[in-house]
Structure 1
């Protein structure tokens, strides 16, 4: 089946996307995907992103923690649905990267939620912030969102 115009526009806007199916267990007593699950979708997307980008969630030079996150719920998601999870880089700092996320519902043909996470690179041995290596900054730059 081919992608709709809305799906194509979503995929073109977010430089990194992953398809993900909802599960019956994602639902809550109110018959929609529980709000906590949206954060799990973001976590799944972030994990796949890091694995595909650098081959791990953390390395001796890269040990990110979520310092801040938010989610804006735009539409309830229900089971069954196939989602497209989108990630783009909004900002790259000396020791942090800000991710922008979105969840596209194929059943609804629209964005169901958006989110932001500020990822801070830490020194897992010594504690505290650790500057990002230039090679990581260069990799992240390729996933920066366009300013359109």
Structure 2
């Protein structure tokens, strides 16, 4: 995978963030946060971000489902320092949209995560309605 664009490494470019406490149990034999722990941090942040954003997706029977998750590990991260995970939306498609996340520790980005969700109505993709698209675009990660 290519390294993330420089704008992804700046917390100020994201519209949302959360501080998450690291745990001793997140360490691996090299005394840094292991990859599974980092994936869990991203999952926790993504779900919290979605929980706050979900209020705008109100059509009955319509839901967003994760179809892909990719993590780029850029540097090591350590216990006991907290991690700040920043999130925002990427460019929406016809029926899908990305959630872009970046994890920071001590003002340094150590990993990014891109998740793609597809809007589903029953068993088929549903087009993103104009109001939801506008909301996604307003909450995008700034690219410059």
State the TM-score, normalizing by the size of structure 2: 0.81
TM-superposed CA distance for 1:103, in Å, is 0.3
- State the distance in 2 between where 1:98 and 1:112 align: 20
- State the distance in 2 between where 1:89 and 1:13 align: 11
Gaps of 5+ in 2: 1-8
Aligned residues: 136
Residue of structure 1 in register with 2:15 after alignment: 15
State the TM-score, normalizing by the size of structure 1: 0.79
Residue of structure 2 in register with 1:119 after alignment: 117
Residue of structure 2 in register with 1:143 after alignment: 139
Residue of structure 2 in register with 1:37 after alignment: 37
Q: Contact between 1:53 and 1:139, CA under 8 Å: does it hold in 2?
A: no
Structure 2 SS opposite 1:49: helix
The one of 119, 132, 144 aligned to 2:128? 132
Root-mean-square deviation (Å): 2.3
Q: Does 1:89 align with 2:89?
A: yes
TM-superposed CA distance for 1:54, in Å, is 2.5
Change (3 A) 1:31 1:57: farther
| Higher mean displacement: 30-39 or 112-121 | 30-39
Change (3 A) 1:26 1:142: same
- State the distance in 2 between where 1:37 and 1:102 align: 14
1:67-116 deviations in whole A, cap 9, x for unaligned?
Answer: 1221111111111011110112221112101121100002xx31010121
